[in-house]
Every structure is written in structure tokens, then in C-alpha cells.
Amino acid sequence: MSQLIKPKGYKAALGKRQTELGIKLIKEFFQQNLATELRLSRVTAPLFVLKGLGINDDLNGVERPVSFPIKDLGEAQAEVVHSLAKWKRLTLADYDIQPGYGIYTDMNAIRADEELDNLHSLYVDQWDWEAVITEDDRTRHYLETVVRRIYAAILRTEFLACETYPQLKPFLPQSIHFIHAQDLLDMYPTMTAKEREDEVCKKYGAVFIEGIGCRLSNGEKHDGRAADYDDWSTIAEDGKVGLNGDILIWYPILGRSIELSSMGIRVDKAALLRQLAIEKQEEREHLFFHQQLLSDKLPLSIGGGIGQSRLCMIMLHKAHIGEIQASIWPEDMRRACDEAGMTLI
């Protein structure tokens, strides 16, 4: 069984029926706030895409996509999306979205290689969003401005949840702290990346860690990021590398940090070629998505994903993501969760 945290004395604040109503309330409220903050319009997204076009997200490059043959396309292979990072940018161009505006959608994915625990499921659901920007917007300052807007929507959602269910008490700080992955390594040089995340989140409550995907002074990445969507190699105006990052919060119920969002300014042509070279993936330049970008057919953009079940989990003070979403879990994990007061759907 994968690692399972069993909070001592845990008892769900809401029953099953209240939880389902709470999930609906949070999802409807947050997506409206997110759309308003970032000027996003909702679009319909695919569950799967054709293999070999470079559209599917490669995540860390080792996860296997769920795939299947399509009878009416001569047994061509389709892949269930890992995320919609590149598909959204194609859609911005297709819909002729102008700078300062964007799109969002419900992204549903299956990640068969996920290690299952309190936060990780085979089923991934998130709000994927993408907005058109200008060349002048490709700065660390602009990135942080967008992060603050997203965090403001999260805070308003927490207020609504606690007003609706008085047994829930707010715990998020009123502002989010920014730190670069290299500075975090310098602060805690003997810790692992996960331990560093826990330390900084416990200190500040909510943190945006920048520069996810670039190699740090110890020769390692803070976390993996594919070479062809987030820009993790451009030197920003403050002299630090990377125009992307992760939103994390400290979650007292589990006594650990939780990542709520991965996001960033996307690669331009120069960053794409540079990052493919760094990762020794130059052969991907010939894929459909990459050719569209290199041929100036795609707009500059910023985007990311925000976990739906994770957001509902922390807003409703749950200890396991299986209390929010229906998925498949090992039988020994189900039994252990039942004994610990975590009733999985």
C-alpha cells in the first residue's frame, strides 16, 4: 500500500450528503471567481487526443498515457490526456482569443502510474486555464500578479465554505509568499525537495515556488516539468531562472504541504528550442504542436491547472481525496481509511 497519512482523532466535519452539496457549492463558486479574476470563457475539452501529434502533456516524461485503438481511424491510437497544457494553446489560436483574455475548461485525466495516497488518485480532475499575453507580459512580475488573483479566488471560496458550514474554520493566510526554488534550496540545503516544501509552507501558510523544472545549484530539479509548455529556462527581470511555479498551502489536517496548482508563462520559440535541447528532445520539434509554435501560429500565453478535488478536499477539511471523488483504491487502503474515520466514496 502506498504511503497513507492517518490523522489522529480524525472525524469528518461533514457527512456524505453535506459533502456532496459542499462539492457542488465550491466548484460552482470557484470557477466563476476564477473566470472573473482572469477574464476567462469556458470551453469544451477532449478526454483523449491522437497519439503522435505532441498535444498530450508529457508531465515528467515517464508516465504512461492510457491509450486505445480507434476502429474507424484504421486502428490509430488515441491517448487519454494527462493534462491540456498544449491543447489549450491551440484552442486560444483557434478561437482567436485576444491578449488579456483566455479560456478555462474541466480537465479529466487517468494517470495509471500514480502512487496512491491521501492526495493522489488514478483519476485527476482540474480546472485547466490558459490566457493570451503580450511579449511585455513575459515577466516574473506579471506571473506573480496572476498568482495573487488566483489566490484571492481561493480565499473567497474558503470564506464561502466556512460561512455555509460554521463547523469549518478558516486556516489560509491572507496573502501568498513568493520564493524561488534556488532560494528555497539555499535555506534548507540538507532537505529533500518535499521536505523543503513542507518547511516553507508551514512557515508562511501559502507559498508560490518559482523556477520549477530548471536545474538548481545541486544539479537537481526541484520538480519535473516538460520541456514544451512552461518556460523554466528564461532569466527573469530579477536575474533568476524560470517564469513558472507551483501554488502550495500548509494543510493542518494532514500536517503537510499540498500543491493546488501548477502554472506558468508558456514557452516562446526561443525557450522551446532551448528547453528541448537541454532535455535532449530536439526530435520533438517536428511534431504538430511544436511546428505550430515555431511557425508563429500560436499566441504567447500563460496557463495552468487547479485541482478540483484537492481544492474541495481542503475547503471541506477532508483527510483523503477519496472522500471527495470516486476512484479505485487498494482494498487494504480502504480498510485502513475506514478504521481512521476516512470514508471513501
Residue positions annotated with a catalytic role: 57, 111, 126, 246, 259, 262
Residue for grid cell 485503438 = 69
Q: In terms of DSSP bridges, do strands 256-265 and 244-251 run parallel, antiparallel, or are they unpaired?
A: antiparallel
Backbone angles phi, psi at 241, to 5 degrees: -90, 135
Concatenating the DSSP letter of every residue in 5-69 gives ---TT---SS-HHHHHHHHHHHHHHHHHHHHHHHTEEE----SEEETTSS-S--TTS-PPPPEEE
| 239 contacts: CB under 8 Å, gap ≥ 6 | none
How far does CA 328 lie from the centroid of its chain?
Answer: 21
8 A C-beta contact, residue 301 and residue 38? no
Across the strands, what pairs with 268? none
Q: Which residue is it, cell 485547466? A: 128
Q: β-strand 206-210 against 177-180: which pairing, if any?
A: parallel
Amino acid at 302: I
Alpha carbon distance 325, 329 (integer Å): 11
* 238 C-beta neighbours (distance < 10 Å), count: 10
Residue with cell 489560509: 172
φ, ψ for residue 126 (rounded to 5)? -150, 160
- Dihedral angle at the C-alpha atoms of 239, 241, 246, 248, nearest 10 degrees? -50
Pairing, β 102-110 against β 40-42: parallel
Best CA proximity match to 82, nearest among 68, 64, 102: 64
- What burial class does residue 12 get, using C-beta atoms within 10 Å of its C-beta: 0-12 exposed, 13-18 middle, 19+ buried? middle
